Structure 1
Amino acid sequence: MRSDAQQNRDRVLAAARAEFTAHGPAASLNKIAQRAGVGPGTLYRHFPTAAALLAAIIAEDVAKLCATGRELLGHPDPARGLHDWLRAVAVHATAMRGLVATESLDAAGSALAECHDEIRAVGAALLERAGAGDGVDDVLTVVNAVAWASERLPAVPGRLERLLDLVTRGLPAPTG
């Protein structure tokens, strides 16, 4: 990809992230193009649908989450590494403001399936290293439920952390 095309793509992704954060699934693609300083044609060339745009944002986030998880595989305290990564997963899920569950993402199924597979693989490795016998799917389901609940309840400082601690008590405890 040419450097100017890559810059346009990056600006569109940054603008889309801001618009989706502010307006959820009702974000306007035209406002995203305006915010990015590109024409609608440029936006649609890179992302033909809102689902493709959301999938690209989610894929970027998942790549960062998985890179963090791979780094945490080397943490001297495997349980702390697991807990830190699960918190990052919960924060990511909360930041997505329910976008992953919208019907508009049905068309992005294969791209999101790859993201899910990558998260599962990293999570399974962290669970194994921490000596947790729990299945990665169950742990990720609970962490996503915690994120969902903390997002919808009245804002209370530290709530996400307390909820995560509550549901991860059955996992090996960090030593520090």
Structure 2
Amino acid sequence: MADQQRADARRNHERILAVAEREVAAHGAGASLEQIARVAGVGSATVRRHFPTRQALLEAVSSQRIEALCERARELTGTGDSRDALLTWLTDVVAYCVSARGLATALAYEADPTHGNSCAAAIEEAARPLLRRAIDDGAVSGEVTVAELVAVIVGIAMATEHHRDPAGAADRLFALTVAGISPLR
């Protein structure tokens, strides 16, 4: 009997996650939990049992994309020019955040003492060596943190989400951020 309950719980979890991925892709981070429950064929209490917070659900939906970004940071660490490697990775993060609705929101949450923020923690851990190398090479200010860089990207993704061309607008804002507002001398 207990095995049957565990199997049912696993199936519910997988079904909820599959529906949540579609709903978040269609409606962003504000996707209705009640709608997810309805489409998954479970009660809203079941959704909350598997994902106690909206943040937990967004992190689960975003986990594969987060892992891909972490892997990309690891690939770029130690390759080529340190500034170019960091900017390549940050450009990838911007592109992911713009194309994957809900990802920016998953990265934006402050760590909650009970559940933490596994997305932000994974990104920070993976990108830290990439940033450290750029700082050590003098290509980036020593005061810059991964959390600050991600916060800028999250802001760009959220600010451009409803533009006619979100990717183009995000790319322009990111380029402006990197260049700064002062003219070249």
Shorter chain as denominator, the TM-score bin is 0.5 to 0.7
**What is residue 39 of structure 1 aligned with on the other side?**
42
Contact 1:146 1:160 survives alignment (8 Å):
yes
Q: How far is 1:5 from its partner?
A: 5.1
Runs of 4+ in 1 over 6 A off after TM superposition: 1-4
> Contact 1:78–1:129 (CA<8 Å) still a contact in 2?
yes
- Letter of the 2:140 partner, please give it: G
Contact 2:95 2:167 in 1 (8 A): no
Tell me, in whole angstroms, the C-alpha distance in 1 between the residues paired with 2:30 and 2:150.
27
Residue of structure 1 in register with 2:25 after alignment: 21
Give the match for residue 171 of structure 2.
Answer: 161
Whether 1:96 and 2:102 are equivalent positions in the alignment is yes
Which residue number corresponds to residue 140 of structure 2?
Answer: 133
Which protein, 1 or 2, shows the higher relative CO under an 8 Å CA cutoff with sep ≥ 6? Answer: 1
Structure 1's unaligned 5+ residue stretches are 171-176
Paired AA for residue 65 in structure 2: D
Q: TM-score, normalised by structure 2?
A: 0.65
Which amino acid is 2:71 matched to?
Answer: A
Aligned twin of 1:71: 75
Q: Is the 8 A contact 1:147 1:160 kept in 2?
A: yes
How far apart, CA to CA, are the structure 1 residues paired with 2:31 and 2:166? 27
Opposite residue 55 of structure 1, the aligned amino acid is: E
Report whether the alignment pairs 1:56 with 2:63: no
Contact 1:72 1:85 in 2 (8 A): yes
The alignment yields a C-alpha RMSD, in angstroms, of 3.6
Aligned partners of 1:3, 1:129: CA distance in 2, in Å? 46
State the Cα deviation string for residues 8-37 of structure 1 (Å, max 9, x = none): 43332231122123234543334323434x
Is the Cα contact below 8 Å between 1:59 and 1:115 reproduced in 2? Answer: yes
